[in-house]
A and B are shown apart, each in its own frame.
Chain A
Amino acid sequence: GAVVSQHPSWVICKSGTSVKIECRSLDFQATTMFWYRQFPKQSLMLMATSNEGSKATYEQGVEKDKFLINHASLTLSTLTVTSAHPEDSSFYICSASTGTGTYNEQFFGPGTRLTVL
């Protein structure tokens, strides 16, 4: 199956700093990538949808100036958490897809655990 990587797998940072998370599709071209956030023992919540070469579409309640998403190529999307605070500590998961049709499968990355001190 298709492989999606995320880097880093975990990160600890101080409050007020910015953290960049990379999501790469290793063996296919992902026209669409999705970013999710998951708090402990909760479900995945979609943060934003990004299509290659265009601006990301953010879900209601997600601050686009705080969570910067860039999808510069068909194999790479990045999520930057700017001026991180302890409440941003969470598990961030990306997924990549070859399309937006009902039958296009999403392939998930392994996730990134962010801890903000």
Chain B
Amino acid sequence: AQKITQTQPGMFVQEKEAVTLDCTYDTSDPSYGLFWYKQPSSGEMIFLIYQGSYDQQNATEGRYSLNFQKARKSANLVISASQLGDSAMYFCAMREPGTGQLTFGSGTQLTVLP
């Protein structure tokens, strides 16, 4: 069974600073996909970034980058130059091969301070 762990229930960061949100995972499948989503108070799930288990390079999308350490089974999200609008809940998720199901971590509530 797959498992996603986010150990930071809440994080604070100063505006314009960088912040790292932690995510570790556990799976026995060699093929998997890792995702990060942002959920603002409105509830919508916003896709941020994806990392495939066979990808050689860390994924980047604008201000978002994924620090993928396969041996340590970690997939931390790095947000550079934080903005007030980044305040939201962030979820790490893993895609299960075959069924396509997503398993979510418990989430990290990020608050960006002015």
Chain A interface (Cβ < 8 Å from any Cβ of B):
1, 32, 34, 38, 42-46, 49, 91, 93, 95, 97, 99-108, 110-111, 113
Contact = CB atoms under 8 A, between A and B. Distances in A.
Given A43-B105, A102-B95, A103-B52, A32 B43 contact: no
B32 A105 contact: no
Nearest to A104: B100
A110 B46 CA distance: 9
B45 interface: yes
A99 to B, nearest CB: 7
A34 B97 contact: no
Contacts of A32: 100
Nearest to A57: B99
A100 B102 CA distance: 10
**Interface residues on chain B, size class:** 20 to 34
Interface string B73-114: 000000000000000000100010111111111110000000
Given A44-B91, A49-B100, 10 more contacts: A44-B104, A100-B98, A100-B100, A102-B31, A102-B53, A102-B97, A105-B50, A108-B44, A111-B43, A113-B43
B104 A43 contact: yes
Interface of A, secondary structure class, is strand
A95 B37 CA distance: 13
A97 to B, nearest CB: 6
A102 B97 CA distance: 5
A97 B43 CA distance: 19
B100 A101 contact: yes
A61 B102 CA distance: 17
B30 to A, nearest CB: 10
A87 to B, nearest CB: 20
Nearest to B54: A102
Contact of B106 (A43, A95, A111): A43
